[in-house]
Chains A and B, each alone.
Chain A
Amino acid sequence: MSIVTTTSGEASASAPVTAVPEPDTTRDQGTNPVGSSGRRRRGPNAQLVVGGGLIALIALAALVSLVWTPYDPTHAVAVDRLQSPSLAHPMGTDRYGRDVLSGIMAGAQITLLVGTVSVLIGAAIGVPFGILAGMRPKRLGVLIMSGSDVVMAFPGLLLAIVFGAVFGGGTLSAMIALGIGSAPAFARVARSGTLQVMSMDYIFAARAANRSGLAIALRHVVPNIGGMVIVQCSVNFAIAVLAEAGLSFLGLGTLPPTPSWGRMLLDAQQFLATSAYLAIFPGVAIALAVLGFNLLGDGLRDRFDPKMRNR
């Protein structure tokens, strides 16, 4: 989460404080716009490498599970129920005899799907509004950011629970709710970057050359705020992974028999005394996914934002 200034200048939050990269408390207070022009050619930093590696591992598990898992993750085998980790079942089996490793591999699909779709929805709503608010900072900008304040009062998790009440639980409603809930974060980041870009000399030159607002937005604003938006994507991906796990744990996210890590934790709860491994493996998977996206966000921010270097 980054601290950003609201339309009137005071500090506010761009997203619920649930998953954070290295905070940048000065992001809105005069840093240069970032993007291709601001990048320095450097080797990848450790956070990028570790974060990217963790995400690549999860993506690989998801991809492999599309064509192969050790066992059918939804197939119950009564005689194999609650087996401890062994060579045949490296992460054990659950109360229905389903292989936990297969469930975790298949669960990676849902994690990546929910993260990707919710981030895309959030960015698709938030970024255009943010750019508009930055390019028309007076009345329209104030109106847009006031609307953003209202949406911010509905954190993604709360919105997803409400959607669960209205439309019934499920992956789709969770993705939409988390996406809408993350839109204010994108709007604020985009507005902040746009305000900085709009004060640049080349914008005055573009205006003098009679370029339309849309042309300025597409040609000058979007490329220059791309770095900020990509960092925000990584942050919100981590938030979405945690929120989806929480929703599935509450029974309002991904519905059975589709494997999901949060649901696996819910199922594990009543076997904590005898089979704690049922909670540990999906729990570690969630933590590694969130860690991966947070590290990636930190690494990208470090790369894009000159003020964050040497920390």
Chain B
Amino acid sequence: MAIRLLKLLGSFIATVLVSTVVVFLLLRVLPGDPATVALGIEATTEQLAAWREQYGMNTPLVVQYFEWLGGLLRGDFGVSYVTGQNISPVITDRLQVTLILVGLAMVIAIAVAVPLGTIAAIRHQRPSGAIISGVSQFGVAVPSFLVGMLLIVFFAIELDWLPSGGWVPPSEPAEFLQHVTLPVIALGTVQASILTRYVRSAVLEIQREDFLRTARSKGLTANVALVRHGLRNAGIPVLTVVGLQMAGLLVGAVVVERVFTIPGLGSYLVDSVGNRDLLAVQAVVVVLVIAIVLINFLVDLAFTLLDPRLRRAA
């Protein structure tokens, strides 16, 4: 078991390191000169040289990478050459907003999907099961930003119950809840549709397992056998999907953040792309990539620890 966990950890660290190299190279091997991009075509040669000196762009690429990596390890992403702001505190603030959105959306998705998916599986040959499957099939196809826009039309414009956008921190709970409700529903609805289909599939799979037949042969009803023995086993692949959904949402939330003008990490990324603020783009991308690799690692870890077959194999 320990060797397997060490292998997973080694793979995680290696993937993170290679990913940082990819991010670094993607944004350093630009068509054109970053100094000219930052200062404009009217900048003098002296200004361009001074800029390169200031941002360490005149050293070899390998040196630049290790300096950047060192900063990354210290949590120092440098100073934006467009806004002049220190990038690290901006990323910390924005990441908190995105994590709150993604976390709440997943809570809603799980709360909706687990019961609905289970019912859809238990009643898969009845109309109620078919209706849940059909609705979730359609829900998967609807982009979350469209759901967000429709929610704005009904709840913010027509009914005037909730604000159409903006962000208030959780320190003001009432205002926070008002502002966060629609974006979280927009993100959560689509994720719930996806998860419902996985829960249904996992429960259907479990229902065919021998251990469930054995449980029923001991006198348990189908539902009791499923609750006592089935759902725990069905939970393993579902937990995996939840982790993967969270990784996907970290990036996917960017579009919903734009719909509701929420100052999250995705919005910062898109603004930075628009401003050609490449240091900020690099910082956001590397944070997102590390978060995704970390979530994938935790999913693998959970899978190893929770699945008895893998545990035994280890």
Among B22, B201, B281, B304, the most chain A Cβ lie within 10 Å of the Cβ of B201
**A25 within 8 Å of B by Cβ?**
yes
Q: Which of chain A's residues has its CB closest to B245's CB?
A: A17
Q: Tell me whether A295 and B296 are in contact in the complex, defined as CB-CB below 8 angstroms, given that A10-B303, A155-B251, A269-B259 are known contacts.
A: no
Task: Provide the bound-state CA to CA distance between A227 and B149, in Å.
Answer: 38
Contact (Cβ within 8 A) A249 B255: yes
Least Cβ–Cβ distance between A234 and chain B, in angstroms: 13
Q: Give the secondary structure class of B's interface.
A: helix
- B150 contacts A250, C-beta separation under 8 Å: no
B169 interfacial contact with A, CB 8 Å: no
Which residues of chain B from 238 to 290 have a CB within 8 Å of any chain A CB?
240-241, 244-245, 247-248, 251-252, 254-255, 258-259, 269-270, 272-274, 276, 278, 281, 285, 288-289
Whether the pair A286, B146 counts as a contact (CB closer than 8 A) is: yes
- Chain A residue numbers with a CB within 8 Å of B300 are 6, 10-12
Give per-residue flags for A247-279: 1 if the beta carbon is below 8 A from chain B beta carbons, else 0.
001111000000000000100110011001001
User: Which A1-39 residues have a C-beta within 8 angstroms of B?
Assistant: 1, 3, 6, 8-13, 16-20, 22-26
**Is B108 engaged at the interface, CB distance under 8 Å to the other chain?**
no
The answer to whether A20 touches B197, judged by C-beta atoms less than 8 angstroms apart, is yes
| Contact between chains at B237 and A283 (CB < 8 Å) | no
Contacts across chains A and B counted by CB atoms under 8 Å: 183
With A153-B289, A287-B143, A294-B137 in contact, is A158–B251 under 8 Å at CB? yes
Q: Does A40 contact B (CB under 8 A)?
A: no
When the two chains form their complex, are residues A294 and B141 in contact, meaning their CB atoms are under 8 A apart? Answer: yes
Please tell me which one of the listed residues A17, A238, A250 contacts residue B254 in the complex, with CB atoms under 8 A apart.
Answer: A250
Chain A residue with minimal CB distance to B289? A153
Q: Which of A96-104, A122-130, A162-170, A207-215 contacts B (4 or more CB under 8 A)?
A: A162-170
Confirm or deny: B88 has a beta carbon within 8 angstroms of a beta carbon on chain A: no
A246 at the binding interface (Cβ < 8 Å): yes
1/0 per residue, CB under 8 A from B, across A40-75: the answer is 000000000000000000000000000000000000
Known A25-B237, A165-B273, A269-B259; contact A246-B143, beta-carbon cutoff 8 A: yes
Q: Report yes or no: B285 in contact with A158, Cβ–Cβ below 8 A.
A: yes
Whether the Cβ atoms of A23 and B201 lie closer than 8 Å is: yes
Contacts of A291 in B (CB 8 A): 137-138, 140-141
| Measured CA separation A9–B191 after assembly (Å) | 26
Tell me if B27 counts as interface (CB < 8 A to partner A).
Answer: yes
Residue B52 interfacial (CB < 8 Å): no
Chain B residues within 8 Å of A20, by CB? 140, 194, 197-198
A94 CB → nearest B CB, Å: 15
- Report whether A17 and B244 are in contact in the complex, using a CB–CB cutoff of 8 Å: yes
Task: Judge whether A246 and B255 touch: CB under 8 Å.
Answer: yes
Contact indicator per residue, chain A 130-174, by CB within 8 Å of chain B (1) or not (0): 000000000000000010011011110110011011110000000
A149 and B270 in contact, given A16-B251, A268-B149 (Cβ under 8 angstroms):
no
Structural contact, B248 and A287, CB atoms closer than 8 A: no
CB pair A279–B142 under 8 Å, yes or no, is no
A11 vs B310: C-alpha distance when bound (angstroms): 10
* In the bound complex, CA of A294 to CA of B140 (Å): 9
With A154-B22, A166-B27 already in contact, the answer to whether A283 and B141 are too (CB < 8 A) is no
Tell whether, in the assembled complex, residue B255 and residue A290 are in contact, meaning their CB atoms are under 8 Å apart.
no
A-side contacts of B194, CB under 8 Å: 17-18, 20
A242 at interface by CB-CB < 8 Å: yes
The chain B residue sitting closest to A164, CB to CB, is B273
A8 to B14, CA, bound (A): 15
Contacts of B245 in A (CB 8 A): 17
B30 CB contacts on chain A under 8 angstroms: 166
State whether A153 touches B15 (Cβ < 8 A). yes
Residue on B nearest A156 in the bound complex, by CB? B251
B43 contacts A by Cβ under 8 Å: no
- Top 6 nearest A-B pairs (CB, nearest first) are A291-B141, A290-B141, A283-B146, A16-B248, A13-B244, A165-B273
* 8 A-B pairs with C-beta separation under 8 A: A10-B300, A10-B303, A11-B300, A17-B245, A25-B201, A155-B292, A252-B270, A294-B137
Taking A158-B289, A166-B30, A287-B142 as known contacts, 11 extra A-B pairs with beta carbons closer than 8 A to each other, sorted by chain A number, are A6-B300, A10-B303, A11-B299, A16-B252, A17-B241, A17-B245, A153-B293, A154-B19, A165-B276, A165-B278, A272-B153
